[in-house]
Amino acid sequence: MDARGVLDLLDLTLLDHSASETALDALCERANEHRPAAVCVFSEHVPYVKGRLDGRIPVAAVAAGFPVGDSDPAAASDAIRAAVQAGADEIDCVLEPREDEGFPGESELAMLIAMREASAGCVLKVIIETSLLDERRMRACARMALAAGADFVKSSTGKRGGCSDEAAGILAFEVMRHGVTMGSKPGVKLSGGISTLSDVERLLSLVNSEDPAIKGAARLRIGASSLLDELVG
């Protein structure tokens, strides 16, 4: 895949609560020039970014705790609704892992339902933090998130481990499986430690080996903060 093809899938990311207006301006300038799939920032930065970004570029807000996800569905719902009201087009949320035999269980389902209801009208990407999960829990979280209506299952925050080859393949399989079962077309977002074009090519080949139909920004995203530097210099 060439640089333009990767840019079309890229969620250009700046997740820093203390980011200055200068840093946010630079982010918007680069996005306006290179046109990624979306720009991803914390909720409090959404209004500023929306005012400076080309209106054709969606803004994704990270809401309800990051990198540690919220444990209270009501609090998560309030945070997501605030992000939507601030102008977010997409919402990225962490489904926080638990060291419990019953994970994922009823509390996770309640959280996912709250995420989906609060983000109604926006694209919802659920981060399942695959680096902290074994295969069984990875699959269970992906299935539960998709069943609750997530538009994307996302591999990682990037703060507690990266996106492994295994995770990319598993998420792609579960998205394919859900689509076949339900007749829908959810997507995969690969994020965490992806910084080179070779990383992208390797991970996308694993996704495509599970389902070649998972392509285009409506179904496939790459979350990265430094990848743009390699793509455009």
CB 11 within 8 A of CB 39: yes
The single residue listed with the structure tokens 């969620």 is 11
∠ CA(72), CA(154), CA(84), 5° rounding?
Answer: 55
- Write out the chain's pLDDT in tens, 233 residues: 899 999 999 999 999 999 999 999 999 999 999 999 999 999 999 999 999 999 999 999 999 999 999 999 999 999 999 999 999 999 999 999 999 899 999 999 999 999 999 999 999 999 999 999 999 999 999 999 999 999 999 999 999 999 999 999 999 999 999 999 999 999 999 999 999 999 999 999 999 999 999 999 999 999 998 899 888 86
pTM for the model stands at: 0.96
Residues with catalytic function: 92, 154, 189
Ordered domains of the chain (ranges, CATH): 3-232 (3.20.20.70)
